[in-house]
Amino acid sequence: MKIAVIGWGSLYWDKRNLELKSEWKSNGPVLPLEFARISSAGNEKERVTLVIDEEDGAECITYWAEMNFSTLQEAKENLRKREGTKLEYIKHITQLETPKNKIESTIQKWIKDQSLDAVVWTGLVSNWFEIRKNKFSLEDLAFYLHSKKHSLNFIKEYFEKAPPQIRTKGRNTFNEFLM
């Protein structure tokens, strides 16, 4: 079974224990992405991370790499360990499954074009409302950035290391914040 992983954020520059058979390729599926998740909320390593966001996301070409596993379970478990999350947040689609939503349909079409059997990705979602008590917006992102002087270095690192082809409105807001 030929299995790939899709990445658009820290997986790209910090694979840690992610076992890849190939280097990252820059022609992954086009997905709606935005810096709309607050990770490590409340501690000094707090940062804003990229997630698939069908409502506010910009269509971005993602990255992908072939994984060093022949079973879907092994690939999902490896990605779960790298992400330090629950298995329920590790998503997948195969060529043969019926897609459950637009994102799965988009990815499935892409894996067929790449002659892959399956793909896995991290399916964390925006938690902006839960943490900020506001719907995600560029205005609130700017306000958030101004309020986080203590963790700005971690926030800045993620924005700056995100792959260059990941261009979102949130990234533009961050760049304006630095000026």
SS (H, E, C) 33-75: EEEEEEECCCCCCCEEEEEECCCCCEEEECEEEEECCCCHHHH
pLDDT number for residue 153:
84
- Please give the Cα distance from 19 to 15 (Å, whole number): 8
Render 108-138 in DSSP notation, one character per residue: HHHHHHTT-SEEEEE-----HHHHHSS---H
Query: Are 168 and 35 contacting, i.e. CB atoms less than 8 angstroms apart?
Result: yes
> 137 falls in which pLDDT band (50, 70, 90)?
very high
Chain centroid offset of residue 156 CA = 16
Residue with the larger pLDDT of the pair 165 and 178: 165
pLDDT tens across 152-170, in order? 888 999 999 999 999 999 9
pLDDT number for residue 40:
85
- Three-class secondary structure of residue 102 per DSSP: helix
For range 80-101, the mean pLDDT: 97
pLDDT number for residue 123:
97
Q: Angle, nearest 10°, between helix axes 169-178 and 138-147?
A: 40
Query: Are 1 and 70 contacting, i.e. CB atoms less than 8 angstroms apart?
Result: yes
What are the distances in angstroms from CA 124 to CA 2, 6, 47, 49, 95? 24, 13, 14, 10, 22
Domain boundaries, the chain: 3-178
Percent of the chain with pLDDT over 70: 99
- Please give the Cα distance from 59 to 69 (Å, whole number): 29
Query: Are 46 and 40 contacting, i.e. CB atoms less than 8 angstroms apart?
Result: yes
pLDDT tens across 12-70, in order? 999 999 999 999 999 999 999 999 999 987 777 789 999 999 999 999 999 999 999 99
> 173 falls in which pLDDT band (50, 70, 90)?
very high
Strands 58-61 and 47-52: unpaired
